Structures are given as structure tokens and as C-alpha cells.
Structure 1
Amino acid sequence: MNVNYAWVAFHGASDPLGTYKVIRTSDGGVSWNITTITLTDADQGQAGIDRPHFISPTNGWISIGKAEGMQHSSMTIFHTSDGGATWTQLASSFSQSSGLPMSADKNGISFANNQDGWATAEYPGSTPWLYVTHNGGTTWQSQSIPQPNGQQAGTFTTTPPVFFGQNGILPTQVYYNSPNIDLYVTHNGGATWTSTTLANYNADTFSALDTQHVWATQSNGTAIYSTTDGGTSWHAIGNTPQPISELSFVDPQNGWAIGQSTSTPQLYHTINGGATWTQINYTIS
């Protein structure tokens, strides 16, 4: 993968219910092509589409889901093998044969390779909610992971894991009496996961540069937290000008963030690891 490739998924204001668009570029944004995905499942209304997840210029997945209430949600997963020109439905929580349940407020998927992928969600219980596929997303099953260190039960929010070869991290928000964050780590491609250290921070947006350097933003707040030792210790390092919806670091010092604006999203840049942020003025032509 390189800077020439990008994908954006959305539901347009004038698009029919159950219809979604994926636009793609392979020349750094000089030109874009568009593809339409149509849900064929029973429940098409007001579903949200996740960001596309690609592991190569041709091989990618995307999920579409809708909250159904009472800690339940639908999820339908599509796959492309031609860079996003066409998409094929693989699995749906409306089909029992897929193994994807309706339970839990699902929030996304990610893949480590062509076969192994994970689905994550918010769910109350004794252990975090995590589902895994070993056949490219066609069928799914629950993956058992241990309780966080020092935590017996609560509401757990797992977010899609990030992999660096066989090593990976699974950012998790843990809430019981007070909010905490925990990084689960794997060194065997996701076969097993180990809790690190609970940190008493309320965070829900994460950016991982590698298995050691991870940043998190405060839920509905402006604080930025970071770890440089893979989650063993966390520190509050600064504040953004407003609450953040997206966060991405490209090295230990340089990162970008998008504000939670309801009108024109604000873009911010840091050159000191998140300690201070500067607004970047931009235009879209």
C-alpha cells in the first residue's frame, strides 16, 4: 500500500435507503471512481457504513450495520478482490449460518491477512466481545479473551485490532464504576490476547503507530493520552482544540486529527507527539 490508494465510503443525503457509495483513487486523488453497494437484507433503514479496510490495493472489506436497541445491532460484511470496483456480500447477522449474532453494538472489523479477521463491539458482560473469522469473512465465531487485569465485569468496548506482522493490539474501553482503557496484545497473529494495564482514562478513539506507540482521545473531551511502552503505562500529554472523531499518527511526533464538527470538520496537526495542535486550513475542490 502507498499514498496513491484511498477509499471513502458514505451514504449520500439523496441516496435511497440501503444504498451506499464507495469512491476510490489509485493515483493519489487525481481521479476517483465510484461504486454502489446495495443491502439486500431485511433491515435497510438508517444503517451506517464503516470505513473500508484494505490489506492490499485489491483486497478489502467493509461492514454496514444498524443499532437495533437493547444492546443489539445488525452487521453485513462485503468483500472486494478488485480494489473496490465490485463488492460481494459475505456474511450477515440476519443469517444464522454466518455465525454473526445480533447481540452487541458492533463498531467495526479489521483483517490481519486474507483469512483472519475480527469484529468488535460494545457489550456488557464478564469479558470483552470479540468475534473472529478464519475464512476471509464468510463465517464467524466468538473468540474468548481474558478479563482485563483487575476488572471483574462491566461494559467493554473493543475496537478493531491493528496488526504489525504477527504482533497486534486490541484497544478496549472498560467501564465499571469509572472508565478505563486497556490494550490487549497478541504476538501470535491474534490466536491469543493478553491484557496489559488498566489506565483510568475515558477514551474511545485510538491511533497505533506500532505495538509500542499508541494515542487515544478523551470521549467527548479534548484530552490526548499516549503510551510508549505498549500499554504498560499511559500519560495525559495535551489537549486538542475540540473533541476529536478521527486520529492518525505517522511517526512519534507527527499526527493529524479531525474535530467532531457538525458543519465543516476542522483538521488539526501536531509536530510534538500530541502536546499541542495547530488548525490546518484546507479547501476541497
Structure 2
Amino acid sequence: MRRSLFAAIFFVVACGVPGAIPPSSPVPSVSPAPSPSSSPDGRSLSLAAMQRVSATAGFVSGWTGTGLGLARTLDGGATWKKLTIPVSHLSELRFIDANVGWAIGFADRGQQVGCLQASSAPPCRSVVLRTDDGGLTWREVLSVPVGQGGGEMIHSLQAIDAAYAWVVVGDQSCPAFCGSELRGTTDGGTTWRTLYQGRVGPVRLASPRYGWIAAYGPSGIDYGADGGNVLVTSNGGATWSATLRGQPIIALEATDLQLVWALARDGAYCTASNCEKYELFRSDDAGATWKSLGNPKNQVASACGGGQLAGPLFASAARGWMGLNLGAGGAEGTGGLLSSDDGGATWRCAKVPANVALLSAADPDHVWVEGDDRTGSGASQIQSSDDGGRTWRALDLGSLR
């Protein structure tokens, strides 16, 4: 499986653990980026999701109104083909290979009718889609009408093959995303069943039987018994056991059935552009025991400064990355990219690529990272590496605008 991470709420896909890679700490080099451009009607490209599936194949999707639904490359990003989608936008992508894929989409009401506006038009819906031909055609396998808040009702898509997938579904009665359940399918989306009911954040499916979720108590993403807890299942979601307790977990990652990471963040130390207090945990026994790896930002403060972490994303037991971006705030700075070659024990940070919010790795060498141009256009830019992040080149997305 290929690996992706989506900052905002969340996360990563894929399995398979290549051998450990010797540590190295070169200074990354980056090829000049193409000048950010807009479409003829002035729209800037803003990516919702991306996934690098192999050295040559990958997919990107754009938000509603940017002119991009979905696009595919089969030559490492040298050229792109736009693909038609049956919804307004795709917010998450999970491709198993260049042909088989899953996606979360949002279908608006069309005709400039708002989701909460009184109208005879069909309601807005969040949907799960499946493709078997590389995104040329899609079929809808799950649909949930939007709730009172009008926002998207499905997030945190995980898929390990054409049959097994998880998603988190919201509570339609809530004015905001305050209630949810974990649903799973074992037959490619033909049927779904509830695996866990309650407040669910990030999830990580590693095999048909093994997976982890962050479940929140009455206090939400917080410390203590009423805060966040990592739960693990070894029987496909039939039963759950609490492992890492009382931590404000915002991201989960795993490279196999044993090696798991969890990232906690103290929201009291956050602004719109920066968060200071993180703690990264790692388990080598499927979550039975955990070791704190400390705050990655403390190791890189002098190199990259402030920002919010997106991640972690690990492509092997040793090699991983985290994005550093300035979020929705207007703070000055570059953000950057954190990298580790020892399983997250130590981190280094480079200011280029800058302001990284989305990450995807096909393997330890072939990586994409995305950030937006904060010099004026706000357009998304993708940097591609074929050597594990030692060097980077900018992909030309001009044809997608």
C-alpha cells in the first residue's frame, strides 16, 4: 500500500516495512519552482488531497471552485490528465495501486443552492467512492446527508485493499462535528457496519484485523480520563482495548502490525499559525506499551521556527517526515519539513520545501509534499523527491489550473 498524510484532520495509509535505512543528514536541495499561476478566470489551485502511488503514478484533487476535480500522472508528475468526478470535490484519497482506489467526496445541491437553504433540491451529502480503473469512473458505496452545521459528515478514510476500509461518520443531530462513529466494510463498500460509537478522531487500519483509533471523552482532545485515549483492535473492530490513555492525540501512524506512532498536541499552546507543545509516542508492540519521544519541535526550533505539525508519516520503520506549516494564521515565516531516519527519536528540519501541509510517500524514496505560496497567490505547490528527501524538484501544476 502507498502512504499519504493529510493535514487538517488527518492521516495515513499503507503497510509494508522495508529494512531500516542508515541515518543521513544532507542539506536538501530544491529545484526552482514554476511561478504560481491562476486559471483564466483568476482562480488559484488549492489542493484538497494528493497521493503518490509509485515512482511514476500519483493523484491530486482540488477544492470546489478551484477548477480541479481530480488529476492523475503516470510519469512522475511531468504531465497530468484531468479526470471527471461525480461530486463537487474529493477531500481524501486512498489508492491501493494505480487502478484501485477509494475517496471521500462532497456532493453539493447545485444551482447555487446552499446546504442549509430551504429548497426542493436534494440535500448535500458526504460520500465514499470506489474506482477500479484509476479514477476514470467511480461508484458510490456510502452516502450520509449533511447535518445541521452543513459541513462534511465523513472523514478519516483508511483502506488496505479493494475490500477493507474504515471511515468516521458524524452525528447528523449535532450543529458541529461533535458526535461520530467508526464504520467498516469488508466487501468493497457493499455493506458497512458500526465498529465503534462515540467521539472518534484519527484512525489507522493496518490489516483486516489490526487497527487503532483515537477516542475522545467528554473533554474532547484533552488530557486525563475524559480526554483522548488510543484504542486498539486485533479482531477487525469487534472489540477494543485502551492502550495510550489520557493524551490529546491528533494523529496516528503505523508501518506494520507492531510499530505505531501517536502525536499529541496541547491546544492551550496553539494560535492560528503556531502550536508549541507536542509529544510524539511510539509503540513497538502494537500499542501494549508506549515510549515518549518528546516534542519534535524542541529539536528543530532554531532551524525552522514556529508553525503547526502535520504528521507523522513514516514510509519505513526508520524513515519518516512531518510537515511544518503556518496554518490559517497570517504569521510570517517559512514553515518547512521535518525528517527522521531513526523512527522518530531525532528530527532535523529544512525550510525548503516550505510551509508543508500535505505529505505522501509511495516508499522511503519517492515522496511528495505540498505547501501553498504565501508570497501572494496562495496557490498549492508540490515538491517531489526520488531520494527520500535529499533533493527536491517542483512539479508543474500549470495545466491543472
Both structures adopt the same fold (TM-score exceeding 0.5) = yes
State yes or no: 1:129 paired with 2:228. yes
| Counterpart residue number, 1:258 | 370
Residue 5 (str. 1) matches residue 100 (str. 2): yes
| 1:204 CA drift (Å) | 2.6
TM-score by length of 2: 0.55
Maintained 8 Å contact 1:109/1:118: yes
Q: Distance in 1 between matches of 2:370 and 2:382?
A: 5
Which of 233, 239, 243 aligns to 1:143? It is 243
Instruction: Tell me which protein shows more strand as a share of its residues.
Output: 1
The residue that corresponds to 2:52 in the other structure is none
Post-superposition CA distance 1:161-214 (Å, at most 9, x none): 323132222233356767244432222222222212332264133321122111
Alpha-carbon distance change, 18 to 284 in structure 1, aligned in 2, over 3 angstroms = same
Residues 252 and 79 of structure 1, relative CA distance in 2, 3 Å threshold: closer
Q: What pairs with 1:169-248 in structure 2 (closer than 5 Å)?
A: 169-174=261-266, 179-199=276-296, 200=298, 202-220=308-326, 222-241=335-354, 243-248=355-360
Partner of 1:95: none
Distance in structure 2 (CA, Å) of the matches to 1:145 and 1:278: 41
Please provide the CA RMSD for this pair: 3.7
1:71-104: per-residue Cα shift (whole Å, max 9, x none)? x8222222222223x2424056xxxxx4x2x4xx
Partner residue, 1:165? 257
Letter in 1 for 2:256: F
1:56, CA displacement in angstroms? Answer: 2.5
Deviations 1:223-262 (A, max 9, x none): 1111111121111133224x33320123444311233589
Segments of structure 1 that go 5 or more residues without pairing to the other structure are 93-97, 148-155
Q: Which has the higher contact order (CA 8 A, sep 6+)?
A: 2
Preserved CA contact (<8 Å) 2:255 2:315: no
Report the counterpart of residue 88 of structure 1 in structure 2.
192
Residue-pair matches, total: 263
CA distance in 1, matches of 2:382, 2:253: 25
Identity of aligned residues (%): 21
Instruction: Provide the C-alpha distance between the structure 2 equivalents of 1:214 and 1:181, rounded to a whole number of angstroms.
Output: 17
Which shows bigger deviation, 72-81 or 269-278?
269-278
- 2:145, 2:252 → 1: CA distance? 23
Does the 8 A contact of 2:320 with 2:343 survive in 1? yes
Closer, same or farther: CA 258–189 of 1 in aligned 2, 3 Å: same
Q: Is the alpha carbon distance of 1:38 and 1:69 closer, same or farther for their aligned partners in structure 2, counting shifts above 3 Å?
A: closer
Residues in 2 aligned to 1:174 and 1:275: alpha-carbon distance in whole angstroms: 32
- 1:140 and 1:165 map into 2 onto residues whose CA distance is 15
**How far apart are residue 44 of structure 1 and its match?**
7.2
Q: Could you tell me how far 1:109 is from its partner in structure 2?
A: 1.3
- Partner amino acid for 2:107? G
Counterpart contact for 1:168–1:185, Cα < 8 Å: yes
Q: Which amino acid counterpart does residue 81 of structure 1 have in structure 2?
A: T
With normalisation by structure 1, the TM-score equals: 0.73
Unmatched 5+ residue regions in structure 2?
2-95, 110-114, 116-121, 270-274, 301-307, 327-333
Q: Is 1:269–1:280's contact at 8 Å kept on the other side of the alignment?
A: yes
Give 1:228's aligned amino acid: D
Within a 5 Å distance, the mapping from 1:39-50 to structure 2 comes to 45-50=150-155
SS of residue matched to 1:34 = strand
Aligned-residue offset at 1:279: 3.0
SS at match of 1:124: coil
